[in-house]
Every structure is written in C-alpha cells, then in structure tokens.
Structure 1
C-alpha cells in the first residue's frame, strides 16, 4: 500500500496544479477511461464535483471497498473529497461533467438545501416511469455542453442557471425528509459553512466553541442546527468527518494507527482507537484487516 492517498487537484491522472476558480469541464466517458483500459483506480478530488451520465452499457463504481453496479441509463454524482474508482465495460457510452467546489457554492448560494443533499455519492436510475425526467435532464446537459464550448458574454451566468435547473431536476426525484424542507436558508448556510470549516482544519484541532465563534453564533445554536438537520450534535458531526478520513487512511495507505491518529490531530492514539470503535463497532486494526480480506 502507498503512504499517500491518491488525490488529484485536477482531473484523473492530472498532477498539475490548477487555479480552479469557476472551473467547468466536459468530456466523453471513453476519453479518459480508454487510456486506462477502462479501469480507474480509487482516488479522490479535493476540490472537484463530478457528474457521470451513462447512456448505454454498464460499469461498476468502487467505493468504500464495495462494488456498486451502474446500469444505463443512469446519472451518478460524486462529491468532492469522495474516494471512488470504476470498472467500465469497453462498450459503455457516457459523459462526465466536472465542476469546481467554488462554482458549486456559487450555483447554490440561494439553495443550500440542495447543496446539503449533494454531500454523498448518489446514483439516479431511470426507466419508463421517469423517462420524461431523464429527457429533461439530458436536454439541460446538452445546453450546458454547448455553453461550455462557446464564449458568450454571459457564459458563467448561463452555466450557473443551467446547472441550477439540472440539480433541481435531480432534487425533485428525491423524497427528501420533510423536516429538512422546513429548514430556513440561514440554518442550512450555517451548517454548510460548519462543514467547510471542519474540512479546512484537522478534525481534532478545534473546539466546538471555536467553530461556533468562527460562524458568529453560540455553541448552543450550532448544536441546535446540527440536531435539526442531521439529528446529531456538532461534536458528532466533527467525529463523523474524522472517522471518514481515518477510514481512507486505513484502507488506502500503510500508515500505522498511531500515524493516522496524529495526521488527524488526535493527541492520544488510544483515544482515537476508542472513538473509532465506538463509531464503527471495529477497532482500527479490525477495520483494516476486514477490508484487506474483502480484497
């Protein structure tokens, strides 16, 4: 195993540093997959969100040591900082849209509920029952691709509007929990900014009151926000992120348990191990061993 996580600032296989800004990119699925014999190793993009639109053929999404069948027609969303890999059949046809995290935040400035939904990888499958919805989404995709290739004066504004319509269309396919629908934009924005702060700092390096201070609210208010949206305390949200990051290091690197605990800024490896077991039901060593056995 490697010591470092396979992490691309840009697109897969691109190790160059880029100023992403409002980066938007489109390519055929075959363009990159064919270069790697239709197998994309597990990796993550720190600052890029991806949309895979598979129109024919099949593939497999590899995530968290699980294999998930992708059968056309489907749309797959891969958020930033999400480990994923693929095994595609050579006859698969599809497209990939890649958007910078900064542009995603611009798109959803006034729609933080949708941004909250996009925190996890999700596959949308289509059949005769929702064929009209798929056609609407493909129409918007074609408009997006056309806009990317042209240099119109209001290109960014057009792309922002088209992506909003695209994601709203996907959102309408969901049966998202009713209580979240009633959350106001300010509450959702606070929670999203809290998530961003967690990602920017090592999970155990700040106290909840410090996160609250950064958000200009009280710790009590921050806890209420987390409870209302995800039914967890603010500390549990921080711990969830820490455990997710720990799992990546346990599965994809050869760092020792102590090294991982220090990388995540846990001062005591024993405390890290206790928390990991409490959250997952396995010790870090047990979790690592179980994933190796699956392979």
Structure 2
C-alpha cells in the first residue's frame, strides 16, 4: 500500500526561520527550497497565503485546478490539499502561519471564520487583485516580509489583519456592492456552521434553527447568492471532505465512511457515486 499523502506542519516548512508559528518569504526562494514538496499533492496543518506577481503554470486546490496569473491572490486553510506546477520565472510572496498564531492576539478565537476566503471552499479562495489595489497590496506583503525578518510577530499579525480586511472589503467575491450585508453575514455564518458540523448535521433545517431563520429563508438566500440550495451546499462539503480523506490510501473506504458518520460503507459508496460519478475506489485510483 502506498504511503499516505504528506501533511506538513508549520515546523516542517519553517525550519531555519525565526518564529515557530510563522514563515514569510519571497515565492521564488520558497520554491527553490521546497521544489520536491510543492509539486506533489500534499496537505497543510496551517494557513497558507500566496500572492503571485509574475509567472505561469497552475495550482490545484482541493481537486480544482487554477491557472496561475500575475496578481492572483489565494488562501488555503488547514486540512485542504493542493499541489503546484509552476514555471521557473514565478515570483511573488508566501506566508504561512499556524492555527495558534492569532490565538493570544484576538479575543475571538473564531475571528478568521468571518472571512469568505477562509471558508475552505476553493472558489472563494482564489481571486484577482484589481489593478488599482496592486501597489497597496504589494506594499503590505513587503511590510510583512520585513516584519518577519525582524522577528516582529505582533507587527506581522497586525499587517495580516489589515490584508484580510482589505481583501474582504475590496476583492472577495461576496464583498461585491449590491449584496446586503445582512445576507452576506447569514451566508458566512451558515458556511462556518457547516465547516464545524457537516459530519453530524446534514439537514438544512438543523442549520436554520441555529441561524434563527426558517429553512425556506435559508434556501432562498443560498439560491439568491450562490445559485444552490442549502442542501446542495451541505452535501458538497461532505463530498469535499470525502475526497480529501480518499487521498490518504492508508484509510479504508469503510473507515472513511465511519469518520463521516455514514451508517455503513455501502451507503457511503452509493452516495459518493451518485454525486461524483465514480465509486470511492475509482476516485482514489484517478489521483495516481
């Protein structure tokens, strides 16, 4: 049986850097140091940010491939899987920080969940920086690099929060003008609840109760903003986690079914085939 997909922690990739919960580096240097790691599919136990300022190639985030373009910004959360296939001229910035990095800095431990690009849903995590914002965003990354080199983690935290807020306000998809803030807030809270409870809660009404709205209201909101029903969004999250788990060939399909709270292996296999078009075993083989 093949070895499990590599899952790197912050210490693995931050070896030799000053802070155990942080890495800030120019992308070109990072790629040279980690060439073997980044070109194979792998996971992270930490948050991962990249701004491409030049270059070409592609990167795959949770089984969706994106073409690399200058001024593309993307975010990755712990537990996701990805790989890079980049040209030698690719440049930009990379920032890693652990789940503990903001813990003592923010009173609300779930503060990062408010941002759509930390939802764990890849369409929300890859975006283009508008031309009018490029100088300002690059300046923030340069300041983050300098603060990291000076071993000033609190300054890095403040600059990262500035980056998150500016990205949320001006770049993120659901921050576009014309969408009422209350609708955006309910959708964000719904997505955050799904990320916490998708293993145990599968019905829209269970989430609607926690959001203090009716199931019909929740469905209408999801259809309006995402073009999908609430049930489809919950199901997509379960399928995404199933795909992530299937990258680990040391886990049997039966173990994955149990981990995702399916009553048995055959029910999980039928569910997976219905919506993916392949059995779990066929999907696993297609990754090779």
Q: Do the aligned partners of 1:140 and 1:166 also contact (CA within 8 Å) in 2?
A: no
Match of 1:195 in 2: 194
TM-score by length of 1: 0.70
- Distance in 2 (CA, whole Å) between partners of 1:59 and 1:248 is 23
Q: Do the aligned partners of 2:51 and 2:93 also contact (CA within 8 Å) in 1?
A: yes
Partner of 1:71: helix, strand, or coil? coil
Cα shift at 1:141? 1.9
After TM superposition, list the pairs within 5 Å mapping 1:67-146 onto structure 2: 67-101=65-99, 103=102, 109=111, 112=114, 114=116, 119-120=121-122, 122-125=125-128, 130-146=130-146
Unaligned runs of 5+ residues in structure 1 are none
Match of 1:162 in 2: 162
Determine if the alignment matches structure 1 residue 228 to structure 2 residue 218: no
Match of 2:6 in 1: 6
- Distance in 2 (CA, whole Å) between partners of 1:107 and 1:135 is 31
Match of 2:44 in 1: 45
Q: Do the aligned partners of 1:54 and 1:94 also contact (CA within 8 Å) in 2?
A: yes
- Distance in 2 (CA, whole Å) between partners of 1:198 and 1:177 is 30
In structure 2, do the counterparts of structure 1 residues 42 and 12 end up closer, same or farther at CA, with 3 Å as the change threshold?
A: farther
Report the number of matched residues: 275
Q: Do the aligned partners of 1:26 and 1:145 also contact (CA within 8 Å) in 2?
A: yes
After TM superposition, list the pairs within 5 Å mapping 1:272-283 onto structure 2: 272-283=268-279
In structure 2, do the counterparts of structure 1 residues 150 and 84 end up closer, same or farther at CA, with 3 Å as the change threshold?
A: same
In structure 2, do the counterparts of structure 1 residues 93 and 256 end up closer, same or farther at CA, with 3 Å as the change threshold?
A: same
Q: Do the aligned partners of 2:5 and 2:247 also contact (CA within 8 Å) in 1?
A: no
> What is the aligned counterpart of 1:54 among 52, 55, 72?
52
RMSD: 4.3
Cα shift at 1:85? 0.9
Q: Do the aligned partners of 1:5 and 1:249 also contact (CA within 8 Å) in 2?
A: no
Match of 2:235 in 1: 239
In structure 2, do the counterparts of structure 1 residues 14 and 195 end up closer, same or farther at CA, with 3 Å as the change threshold?
A: farther
Partner of 1:72: helix, strand, or coil? coil
In structure 2, do the counterparts of structure 1 residues 193 and 88 end up closer, same or farther at CA, with 3 Å as the change threshold?
A: closer
- Distance in 2 (CA, whole Å) between partners of 1:174 and 1:245 is 23
Cα shift at 1:97? 1.5
TM-score by length of 2: 0.71
Unaligned runs of 5+ residues in structure 2 are none
Partner of 1:288: helix, strand, or coil? helix
In structure 2, do the counterparts of structure 1 residues 99 and 167 end up closer, same or farther at CA, with 3 Å as the change threshold?
A: farther
Q: Do the aligned partners of 2:22 and 2:98 also contact (CA within 8 Å) in 1?
A: yes
Partner of 1:52: helix, strand, or coil? strand
